[in-house]
Each structure stands twice: as C-alpha cells, then as structure tokens.
Amino acid sequence: MPKRTTGDRPELKPINIGAAAIDIGSKMHMAAVNPTCTATPVRAFGTSTQDLHDLADWFKACGVTSVAMESTGVYRIPAYEILEQRGFEVILVNARYAKNVPGRKTDVSDAAWLRQLHSYGLLRGSFRPDAEVATLRAYLRQRERLVEYAAAHIQHMQKALMEMNLQLHHVVSDITGATGMRIIRAIVAGERDPDVLATYRDVRCHSSIETIRAALVGNDRDEHVFALTQSLELYDTYQAKMLDCDRKLESLIAALTDKGAKPVGKLCRPRVKTK
C-alpha cells in the first residue's frame, strides 16, 4: 500500500486569529503573537508587576484576545491574574499535551509553538475555578499547611515526654485531647507531682486515675521540659492561625451562599488514565 505524502494532508487553517502565548519563566517570560501583527512576534518581558502590565499593553496593541500559557509552577499566577484583569481570555495548558503534538520545528521557540497550536484550536484549557472559588481554595491550602506544621510539633511534644519517661501516650489515645493537654500544660507550668497531674483526667478518658498516675512518674530534666514548652507554644501558635483561617473561610462561604450557586452547565466526560 503506498504511503501518503505530506502533500495529501489538509492544511490547517487558523481559527483563533487573536491568539497569543507565553512561555513562563522564573525571571523572564517569552511572549508570542501573530507574526502578521508586528515585526517582532516574540518578545521577552520581565516578571515584575510593571513588566506584566507592559506585556498586557503589547498584547492589546497586537490585537490579542486569547492567551495560552502552560500550567506549571506558581510563576504563572501573577501573569494569569493580571491578564485576566485586563480583559484577556487566558487558558492554562497541560505541558504534556503541547509537547506531544507532532510537527514542531527545532528552531521554533516554546512560546511561538504554543501560540501556533492555540491559533489552530489544538489546545485544551485546564479547569480554572471562579475567582471566589479560587480564593476559597487558597485559604483551604493555607489551613492544610498549618495543620501539617502543627502535627510536627505534636510529635515534638511526644518525643519530649518520652525523653522524660512520661508514658502519657500509652494511657490516652491522643495527647492533644482534653486529658493530654491539661497534663502537658500543667507540666509546662511547673507541676511535677503525679498525684496532682492525674487529677486532670477528663471524665471521658478510659484510663483510670491510678493508671495515669503510674504513667506520669518520670525523670524530669530541664532541657526536656524546655523542648516540651517550646513545642507547646508553637502548637498553640498554629492553632491560633488555623482559627484565623477558619474565620476567613466562614465569611467567604457565607458570601458565596448569599450570592447563590450558579447553574452548572454540561460537564465534560472524565479523563481516565490507562496504560
């Protein structure tokens, strides 16, 4: 069977005349526009806020309406937000999809190749939520990081207790529960008597006062108490910061509830990865 020559293939025609693209970098962004609009279709811009506004002005002068950029890293966030504020349609493209499209020449820059694919309508934008939902996700991510930081200091407190041979984690299910935190705060405050420490047992604790008292007979050393004190202070700090995040989330969720849920359009079929 004879092979088809390249001349038999139909020629692609641009369907997005006002297409542009940006190759995102940490110190410099390479932007590309339609070569028929300007003598220099590929230009480099810095990453400062003024440079991004200059980039938007250049796009306006070249008649750009839609901009494509790869959704990699956090360096694209300022460029995305500023271009979106300036009225451009911005789509985030998975870098894998752009690289797997055949036909690229070696002397074509990443920005020019991305713009060419975007002008032919061959790029599929990644999901990008509304501004309010994006803000909500940012608060949730920040809170998730605070939870991770607080969890590390829980481990530090448990290590300090073990070094003092206080077997608190054996008699309570969670040292950050009601019984555990009362006892830890009392130890940090200077209490060492196991009989007194056992009285801080919560009524819901499964272990008896005698069991807790036996676990709290330890070997106190200043350096271990110092480590326990600092870990407790840092744990309390992150708990306070999480409360601040909770207040932000509550106010934002209330605003979204008052605004009302938008009608959901037709959803795309889920993409399933297969080997």
pLDDT digits (tens, 9 = 90+) for 136-156: 999 999 999 999 999 999 999
What average pLDDT does this structure show over 122-130? 80
**Could you give the CA distance from residue 35 to residue 247 in angstroms, rounded to a whole number?**
50
Position 191 scores a pLDDT of 92
* The 42-46 sheet, strands edge to edge: 42-46, 28-32, 19-23, 66-70, 89-93
Q: What is the pLDDT of residues 10-52, one digit of tens each?
A: 677 888 889 999 999 889 999 999 999 899 999 999 999 999 9
Query: Rounded to a whole number, what is the distance in angstroms from the first to the last CA of the chain?
Result: 30
Q: What is the pLDDT of residues 96-105, one digit of tens each?
A: 776 666 666 6
* 259 pLDDT higher than 80: no
- Over the chain, what is the mean pLDDT? 87
Q: Write out the two tokens for 75.
A: 């360096």
Q: Write out the two tokens for 130.
A: 């509304």
For residue 219, what pLDDT band results from cuts at 50, 70 and 90?
A: confident
What average pLDDT does this structure show over 45-63? 95
* 211 pLDDT higher than 70: yes
In DSSP notation, 63-84 reads T--EEEEE--SSTHHHHHHHHH
